[in-house]
Amino acid sequence: MSVALDVPLADGRVLRAYDSGGSGPVIMWFHGSPQTGRVLSPILDAAAARGIRMLSYARPSYGGSTPRIGRDVASAAADTAAVADAAGVERFATLGASGGGPHALAGAALLPDRVTAAATLAGIAPFEDDPGWWGGMAAPGGLHAARDGRDARALFAETEVFEPTSFTDADYAALDGRWGPLGEDVGASGEWGDDGLIDDDVAFTRPWGVDLADIRVPVLLVQGSDDRVIPPEHAERLHRSIRASQLWRRAGAGHISVLDAVPDAMDWLLAQER
């Protein structure tokens, strides 16, 4: 279980954050797109078993956090630092899945004195408008629209529907079982509308404001071989760009089922602090 707190920022915005408490090593969780910003119960359980204190926050327009239209990926670093400051935490690791991956990497790149290591699962790579970046995506429509700007992405959202082939049989089995809380959280995120997802997609298809080559802390990239949302090529691109990275390829894992690697990723992050 985690406690919600509202973190006021210097620019007048407020971030809805969560803190599981405790005195152990700290990992900051970066949620996927769309979610509420809460840390899912399977992740909290894995953290508790390891004595880890989990922090997280809802990105702007998600889960009660103030909108920040025009945000880029790099802007997450300042928000991350503000949440850590509010929690009284100086040093921490970052862990992000799917759309949270770039934001976890932003902290690693831009907060080198505070972030000890970073890990991503099924994380998206910086945008390149070439076939390799798009190849293997079952439903790239939202990102295609985002290339044309926020208005185009918002228009697409008005008729957007989930493409069932985005998930594999292993993903559906995970959602029916251990990762059911993820589906529930995605549904709960609808209370705040589509703006968070729209702004994420626009940020992903614009310059991130982050040079991955600047990352000096250890980075773990976890990727499912059968992912149809963020295909394996994205992990390969990230691995080539981040010199201090390791790539774990999970055979047979899709976009959701790859989350079974969260406990192993936590162990890896803890090992980097020793």
pLDDT tens figures, 24-65: 999 999 999 999 999 999 999 999 999 999 999 999 999 999
Determine what percent of the chain is predicted with pLDDT higher than 70. Answer: 100
The two structure tokens encoding residue 121: 């699962």
pLDDT tens figures, 88-143: 999 999 999 999 999 999 999 999 999 999 999 999 999 999 999 999 999 999 99
The two structure tokens encoding residue 220: 């773990």
Domain of 231, in residue numbers: 3-272
189 — pLDDT class (breaks 50, 70, 90): very high
CA 150 to CA 195: how far, in whole Å? 10
How confident is the model at residue 184, as a pLDDT? 98
- pTM of the shown model: 0.97
Structurally, the chain folds into a number of domains equal to: 1
- Whether the per-residue pLDDT at 1 is higher than 90: the answer is no
How confident is the model at residue 53, as a pLDDT? 98
Contacts of 169 (CB under 8 A, 6+ apart): none
Measured from the Cβ of residue 252, the count of other Cβ atoms closer than 10 Å reads: 12
Q: Domain containing 240 — which CATH number?
A: 3.40.50.1820
The two structure tokens encoding residue 211: 């040079």
